[in-house]
Structure 1
Amino acid sequence: MNFVFFSPHFPASSGEFAIRLHEEGATVLGIGDAPYDSLDSRLQAALTEYYRVDNMESDDETLRAAGYFTHKYGRIDRFESLNEYWLESDARMRTDFNIEGTKADFIDNLKHKSKMKDFFRKSGVETVRFLKNPNRESAAAFTAENGFPVVVKPDLGSGASHTYKLSNQDELDYFFHTSPADTEFIMEEFIDGIILTYDGLIDQGGIVRFQASHRFEQSIMKVVSDDDHLRYFCLKDVDAEVEQAGRSILEAFGIRERFFHIELFKSNKDGRLIALEVNMRPPGAWMTDSINYSYEVDIYTLWARMVVHGGIGEAPSGHYYTGYASRKDRKHYRHSHEEIRNELGGALVRYDAIDEIFSRASGNRAYQFRADSLDRVREIADYIQAEW
């Protein structure tokens, strides 16, 4: 298999996927803007060849790189970044070179939140009521019907950037006065609840080869707006209702041979499960490693085996609950790093700094830890994030 990995160097987890592809026997060909000498030595060893471009936003440069690889190595079997930012670039290259996978004519359905809603309805999973491209008149009608608060977010993109919870008419008026004119927004009803994810691997035949679930008890939107620290938990088991909803959504989208990350609201008011967003890529932050620690697997290898060989055998079971708790440099915490290490002992599985580009949402540095119960990982997160 000739696998062109777009941006194999960033984020760091991309390198792990590329390395596992090489270990499974694929010819891994990298395209990126970083100097070759700056790549991790393990990644260098995994890449058969690396083509450096000056500008990864330039389709012309990427076309030349892919054309060079085709001339030298033959047909490209896969072109992938596993990165939300490059999904459109990936799809255009697959279209231009007739490569297996999602093509340019479908990628908008995976990028635009408004278009996802049609597939949620097709799946039979309830989704949030929304308004595309709100203006003052349409927003007034929407809030009259659904009430405040409402959430306004860019139709295109991931994360919580430029996402706002508007609680009254004055805040809505301020949004219209200050919002960037070059961004298309959608307005959604506000759901008071937690986020449960459905994460995993789906193969070429539409079989879910692995599944996991994360629980977010904070609002990511509020974490970003308040510049707060973050916590979340990888669950030992996938709730049956989450699994049923997630599989129905996968079937509606018809996605194949992908890592998937589906976000669902669990309403605090009535317990309803409501589809929020779908991302056909690995979950972000340290969630891939959360899966590894909870299930005692190497999810990078499971993905590579699925892509190269078509299957990964029987899906493993979960053993632990794994928590993530970040800290912000601007905050003053009660317990020192040494105290945390001594308190957690073997329960602490990772500690590291966070790349600055991700720090607004994910924190400046973070801890990963695991335990036998959800209550215990909550207690550990409380200890790590306790402030003076």
Structure 2
Amino acid sequence: MNFIFFSPNFPGYCTSFCFHLKSFGVNVLGIGDADYHTLNETLKQSLTEYIKIDRLDNYDEVLRATGYYTHKYGKIDRFESLNEHWLELEAQIRTDFNIFGTKLDFIANLKQKSKMETFFKKSGVASIPSITKLTRAKANKFIDKVGYPVVVKPNQGVGASLTYKITDTSELEQFLQTKPADVEFIMQPYIDGILQTYDGLVNRDGEIVFAASHEFPYSIMDAVNSGYHFSYYCLKEVSKEIEEAGRRIIRTYGIKERFFHLEFFRSKADGQIIALEVNMRPPGTWMTDAINYSYDMDIYRIWADMVVHHQVEEPPTGTYYTGFASRKNHLDYEHEHEEIMQRYPYEIVHHDSITDAQSRSRGNYAYQFRSTDYDEVKRIAAYIQAVKNKVEVFS
């Protein structure tokens, strides 16, 4: 199998994917913008060959590199980055070289939030109504119908960048006057709910072969707009309601041989599961590692086995709840790093700084920790994130 891994050095977990592909006998062919000597040793050993290009978003450079690999190694079987940012470029390459996977004619359904709503309706899963191509008159008419607060966000985008909760007419006017002209926004009613995910793998036959779920006590939008820190919990089992809704959506999309990361709200008012958005890539912010810690497994190896051999070993059941708790440099925390490590030497399984590109939403430094007791995981997160003179910033 000839597998082109685009940007194999970023995000960092790509090294693990490349390593396991190589271990199964795959020609892992890298294309990236980093100098070869800066790649970590494991990644170097995992790559059959590596081509450095000047800019990852320069399609001509990517096209030429793919053409070179095709000439040297024969037909390319896969082209992947496992990074949402490159979904459209990947689809274009797959279309131009007739490579297995999502093609250009379908990619908008995975990137535009307004199109996701159409698939949610087809699947029979409740979703959030929205409007696009915002004008003042259109926004006012929508708000007259659904009421404040509302949420505005880019129709096509990653994370919570340019995502705002609007609570009154003055905030709406401020948004309309300052929003970037080159970004298409959508508006939705604000849902007071707990964010939960459905994350896993779907094989070449469209069968879900593994799934896990994460819960977020507050949203990335809150972390970005408030300047506060961020946390989540990997659950040791998937709820029946999330499982059913997730399977319906995956079946409706007809996606094959991919990671998926679906986001839902569980309404605080009545417990209803409401679809938020679809991401056909691994969950970010260390969530793949959280799955490994919760299930005592290697999701990177399982993915590679699925791609190469079209099989997956029976995955283990969840044993632990794994928490993620970040801290931001501008906040004054009650407990120093050394105190945290001394208090939870066995529970903390990983800690590290977060890349600058993600620090605004995810934090500057983060800890992962696990326990068989869900309440204990929450207590550890609270200890890590305890702030001196705390002021509540969420509503």
TM-score, with length taken from structure 1: 0.99
Q: Contact conserved, 2:193 with 2:268, CA < 8 A, in 1? A: yes
Match of 1:160 in 2: 160
SS for the counterpart of 2:171 is helix
Match of 2:195 in 1: 195
CA distance in 2, matches of 1:96, 1:201: 26
1:11 is displaced (CA, Å) by: 1.0
CA distance in 2, matches of 1:154, 1:14: 27
Superimposed CA distance per residue, residues 234-265 of structure 1 (whole angstroms, 9 cap, x where no aligned partner): 00000011000000000010000000000000
Q: Contact conserved, 2:92 with 2:104, CA < 8 A, in 1? A: yes
Q: Contact conserved, 2:302 with 2:313, CA < 8 A, in 1? A: no
CA distance in 2, matches of 1:259, 1:119: 18
CA distance in 1, matches of 2:30, 2:196: 34
Match of 2:346 in 1: 346
CA distance in 1, matches of 2:200, 2:253: 15
SS for the counterpart of 2:13 is helix
1:329 is displaced (CA, Å) by: 0.9
SS for the counterpart of 2:384 is helix
Match of 2:234 in 1: 234
Match of 1:209 in 2: 209
Say whether residues 1:93 and 2:93 are aligned partners.
yes
1:20 is displaced (CA, Å) by: 1.2
Say whether residues 1:139 and 2:104 are aligned partners.
no
SS for the counterpart of 1:198 is strand
Q: Contact conserved, 2:32 with 2:52, CA < 8 A, in 1? A: yes
Match of 2:284 in 1: 284
Q: Contact conserved, 1:194 with 1:267, CA < 8 A, in 2? A: yes
1:282 is displaced (CA, Å) by: 0.1
Q: How does 1:249-260 map to 2 (within 5 A)?
A: 249-260=249-260
CA distance in 2, matches of 1:7, 1:154: 25
Match of 2:359 in 1: 359
Q: Contact conserved, 1:112 with 1:156, CA < 8 A, in 2? A: yes
CA distance in 1, matches of 2:137, 2:387: 44
SS for the counterpart of 1:346 is coil
Superimposed CA distance per residue, residues 265-305 of structure 1 (whole angstroms, 9 cap, x where no aligned partner): 00111111000000000001110000000000010000000
1:198 is matched by which residue type in structure 2?
Y
Say whether residues 1:336 and 2:339 are aligned partners.
no
Q: Contact conserved, 1:210 with 1:316, CA < 8 A, in 2? A: no
Match of 2:370 in 1: 370
1:85 is displaced (CA, Å) by: 0.4
CA distance in 2, matches of 1:318, 1:140: 47
2:345 is matched by which residue type in structure 1?
G
SS for the counterpart of 1:281 is coil
Q: How does 1:41-190 map to 2 (within 5 A)?
A: 41-190=41-190
1:33 is matched by which residue type in structure 2?
D
1:323 is matched by which residue type in structure 2?
G
SS for the counterpart of 1:345 is coil
CA distance in 2, matches of 1:219, 1:355: 19
Match of 2:225 in 1: 225
Structure 1: gaps spanning 5 or more residues:
none
CA distance in 1, matches of 2:152, 2:12: 31
CA distance in 2, matches of 1:325, 1:214: 13
SS for the counterpart of 2:20 is helix
CA distance in 2, matches of 1:24, 1:238: 30
**Structure 1 consecutive aligned stretches of length 4 or more whose deviation exceeds 4 Å:** none
SS for the counterpart of 1:82 is coil
Q: Contact conserved, 1:324 with 1:381, CA < 8 A, in 2? A: yes
1:219 is displaced (CA, Å) by: 2.0
What do you get for the CA RMSD once the two structures are aligned? 0.6
1:55 is displaced (CA, Å) by: 1.1
CA distance in 1, matches of 2:287, 2:360: 17
Q: Contact conserved, 1:354 with 1:362, CA < 8 A, in 2? A: yes
CA distance in 2, matches of 1:57, 1:380: 41
1:313 is displaced (CA, Å) by: 2.1
CA distance in 1, matches of 2:206, 2:316: 18
CA distance in 1, matches of 2:219, 2:77: 39
Superimposed CA distance per residue, residues 310-354 of structure 1 (whole angstroms, 9 cap, x where no aligned partner): 011212210000000001111111111111111112111001010
CA distance in 1, matches of 2:349, 2:257: 30
Residues matched between the structures, number: 388
1:22 is matched by which residue type in structure 2?
K
SS for the counterpart of 1:156 is coil
SS for the counterpart of 2:345 is helix
Q: Contact conserved, 2:294 with 2:370, CA < 8 A, in 1? A: yes
SS for the counterpart of 1:213 is strand
TM-score, with length taken from structure 2: 0.97
Q: Contact conserved, 2:198 with 2:242, CA < 8 A, in 1? A: yes
CA distance in 1, matches of 2:273, 2:107: 26
CA distance in 1, matches of 2:289, 2:180: 36
1:161 is matched by which residue type in structure 2?
S
Match of 2:393 in 1: none
Superimposed CA distance per residue, residues 85-140 of structure 1 (whole angstroms, 9 cap, x where no aligned partner): 00001000000000000000000100000011110001100000111111111111
CA distance in 1, matches of 2:172, 2:111: 25
SS for the counterpart of 1:339 is helix
Superimposed CA distance per residue, residues 168-196 of structure 1 (whole angstroms, 9 cap, x where no aligned partner): 11111111100000000000010001111
Q: How does 1:28-47 map to 2 (within 5 A)?
A: 28-47=28-47
CA distance in 2, matches of 1:221, 1:386: 20
Superimposed CA distance per residue, residues 195-235 of structure 1 (whole angstroms, 9 cap, x where no aligned partner): 11000000001111111000001121111011111110000
